[in-house]
Structure 1
Amino acid sequence: MKVARRAVCALPLLLLPAARRPPRLRPAIQLFAVRRELAADAAGTLRRLARLGYRSVETVGTFGHRPAAFRQLLDDAGLKSPAQHIMPEKLGAMFARAATLPDGALRRAWLEAFGPDGIDASIREAIAQARELGQRHVVWQMLWPEQIDDDSAIARTCGLLNRAGTLCAEAGFSFALHNQAAELAGPAGATAWDRIMAATDARLVRTEIDFAAAYRAGRNPVAMMREMPGRAALAHVRGTPVDDGGAMLHDMLHAARAGDVEHAFIDYERLDDPMKIVARDAAVYRRAI
Structure 2
Amino acid sequence: MGRLGIGLQLYTLRDDMANDFEGTLRHVAKLGYEGVEFAGYYDRSSVEVKALLDELGLKAFGSHVSLERFRTNLQGEIDFLHTIGAKYAICPYVGAEERESADQWKALIAECEAIAVEVNKQGLQFLYHNHDFEFHHKVNDEFVFDAMFAKTGENAINVEMDVCWVQFAGQDPLAYIAKYAGRLPLVHFKDFTKDAEGKLVTLELGLGDVPLQEVIKAAEKAGVEWLVVEQDNCQKPPLTSIENSLNWVKEHYTNVTN
CA distance, structure 1, for counterparts of residue 20 and residue 60 of structure 2: 18
- 1:126 aligns to 2:105 (yes or no): no
Aligned match for 2:159, one of 207, 215, 221: 207
CA distance, structure 1, for counterparts of residue 104 and residue 65 of structure 2: 21
Identity over the aligned pairs, expressed in percent? 22
More strand by share: 2
Which residue matches 1:262?
225
- Judging changes above 3 Å, is the alpha-carbon distance between structure 1 residues 260 and 177 closer, same or farther for their aligned structure 2 residues? same
Aligned residues of 2:102 and 2:138 also touching (Cα < 8 A): no
Query: Structure 2 unaligned runs (5+)?
Result: 193-202
1:236-260 superposed Cα distances (whole Å, 9 cap, x missing partner) = 0124536747985444333322322
Aligned match for 1:45, one of 24, 46, 52: 24
Which residue matches 1:99?
none
More helix by share: 1
SS at the partner of 2:175?
helix
Q: Which residue identity is paired with 1:61?
A: G
SS at the partner of 1:232?
coil
- Judging changes above 3 Å, is the alpha-carbon distance between structure 1 residues 213 and 243 closer, same or farther for their aligned structure 2 residues? closer
Moved more, 182-191 or 239-248: 239-248
Query: Structure 1 unaligned runs (5+)?
Result: 1-20, 88-109
How many pairs were matched up?
239
List aligned pairs for 1:132-211, cutoff 5 A: 132-185=83-136, 190-198=142-150, 200-203=151-154, 204-211=156-163
Aligned residues of 1:211 and 1:221 also touching (Cα < 8 A): yes
Q: Which residue identity is paired with 2:15?
A: R
1:258-284 superposed Cα distances (whole Å, 9 cap, x missing partner) = 322111100111124111111011122
TM-score (norm 1): 0.75
Q: 1:201 Cα shift?
A: 4.0
Aligned match for 2:176, one of 224, 231, 238: 224
Moved more, 188-197 or 60-69: 188-197
Q: Which residue identity is paired with 1:145?
A: A
- Judging changes above 3 Å, is the alpha-carbon distance between structure 1 residues 53 and 239 closer, same or farther for their aligned structure 2 residues? farther
Bigger RCO (CA 8 Å, 6+ sep)? 1
Aligned residues of 2:7 and 2:227 also touching (Cα < 8 A): yes
Q: 1:163 Cα shift?
A: 0.7
Q: 1:132 Cα shift?
A: 1.5
- Judging changes above 3 Å, is the alpha-carbon distance between structure 1 residues 122 and 216 closer, same or farther for their aligned structure 2 residues? farther
CA distance, structure 2, for counterparts of residue 284 and residue 24 of structure 1: 16
Aligned residues of 1:71 and 1:133 also touching (Cα < 8 A): yes
CA distance, structure 1, for counterparts of residue 18 and residue 170 of structure 2: 35
- 1:72 aligns to 2:55 (yes or no): no
Aligned residues of 1:30 and 1:266 also touching (Cα < 8 A): yes
- Judging changes above 3 Å, is the alpha-carbon distance between structure 1 residues 61 and 245 closer, same or farther for their aligned structure 2 residues? closer
CA distance, structure 1, for counterparts of residue 111 and residue 240 of structure 2: 39
